[in-house]
Chain A
Amino acid sequence: IQMTQSPSSLSASVGDRVTITCRAGQNIGRDVNWYQQKPGKAPKLLIYAASSLHSGVPSRFSGSGSGTEFTLTISSLQPEDFASYYCQQSYSTPRTFGQGTKLEIK
């Protein structure tokens, strides 16, 4: 299942509201997860099952969507949020990832 993520890069400022979109190649229900990766570090799970916040993740992160279109929203960007973000489907194997969105400071 192809996961198409957009945009591939994004410039924003601290305090901005940011939305990243992921489209699945077929209906995958709510089987989407979102990850954050900082340079030189392993990815971290942010959101699972489309909208469930993983333990310890700040509430400014939220996920929504179902079927083929999903979004990750950061309500008010903090300096530590500048990183790369990936969606991933867990509907079937292979567990494909989106190509990533690099969030940079404007």
Chain B
Amino acid sequence: EVQLVESGGGLVQPGRALRLSCAASGFRFEDYAMHWVRQVSGKGLEWVAGISWNSKSLGYVDSVKGRFTISRDNAKNSLFLQMDSLTTEDTALYYCVKDMAPTIVVSPNFHYGMDVWGQGTTVTVS
């Protein structure tokens, strides 16, 4: 069964740090780009960060640039999000998401879509 399981969320004070983890199983993790997407309770979806299969391409939404770092360990089938200098605006449910493609830079060779989602881990900054 294809599965993504997030962990590491919790209650943290403004200015502090938190590290989210995502454990992948049921597919060849090393072949696909991965993302973090967040959702404030009752609001819409916001893409936070993405990473290519080989970690050579990274992308961030402007509001987290310089504060958040996405990384992956293909040997351990794991995705991470290091979140520093947290603010109340970062309070949300954070989803780990698999892409259909290996890259985050669009190429005509691939189709792009977020086809597997975890159940999310809640981050509360207060």
Question: A residues within 8 Å of B by Cβ?
Answer: 31, 33, 35, 37, 42-45, 48-49, 52, 54, 86, 88, 90-100
What are 30 A-B pairs with beta-carbon distances under 8 A?
A31-B106, A31-B112, A33-B114, A37-B45, A42-B95, A42-B117, A42-B120, A43-B45, A45-B114, A45-B115, A48-B100, A48-B112, A48-B115, A49-B113, A54-B115, A86-B44, A86-B45, A88-B45, A88-B47, A92-B106, A93-B47, A93-B59, A93-B104, A94-B61, A95-B47, A95-B59, A96-B47, A97-B44, A97-B46, A100-B44
Looking at the assembled complex, report how far the CB atom of A41 sits from the nearest CB atom of chain B, in whole angstroms: 8
Residues of B within 8 Å of A98, CB to CB, are 44
Name the residue of chain B whose CB is nearest to the CB of A37: B45
What is the count of residue pairs linking A and B with beta-carbon distances less than 8 angstroms? 67
3 closest A-B pairs by beta carbon, nearest first, are: A48-B113, A93-B59, A90-B112
Residues of A within 8 Å of B62, CB to CB, are 94
Residues of B within 8 Å of A91, CB to CB, are 106
**Are the CB atoms of A95 and B113 closer together than 8 Å?**
no
**Are the CB atoms of B46 and A90 closer together than 8 Å?**
no
Name the residue of chain A whose CB is nearest to the CB of B35: A95
Question: B residues within 8 Å of A by Cβ?
Answer: 35, 44-47, 50, 59-62, 95, 100, 104-106, 111-115, 117-120
**Are the CB atoms of B111 and A49 closer together than 8 Å?**
yes
**C-alpha spacing A79/B59, complex, angstroms:** 38
Looking at the assembled complex, report how far the CB atom of B48 sits from the nearest CB atom of chain A, in whole angstroms: 9
Looking at the assembled complex, report how far the CB atom of B42 sits from the nearest CB atom of chain A, in whole angstroms: 10
Looking at the assembled complex, report how far the CB atom of A89 sits from the nearest CB atom of chain B, in whole angstroms: 9
Looking at the assembled complex, report how far the CB atom of B46 sits from the nearest CB atom of chain A, in whole angstroms: 7
**C-alpha spacing A100/B42, complex, angstroms:** 11
Looking at the assembled complex, report how far the CB atom of A30 sits from the nearest CB atom of chain B, in whole angstroms: 10
A94's partner among B59, B105, B106, B111 (CB-CB below 8 A) is B59
Looking at the assembled complex, report how far the CB atom of B66 sits from the nearest CB atom of chain A, in whole angstroms: 14
Looking at the assembled complex, report how far the CB atom of B52 sits from the nearest CB atom of chain A, in whole angstroms: 11
Looking at the assembled complex, report how far the CB atom of B71 sits from the nearest CB atom of chain A, in whole angstroms: 16
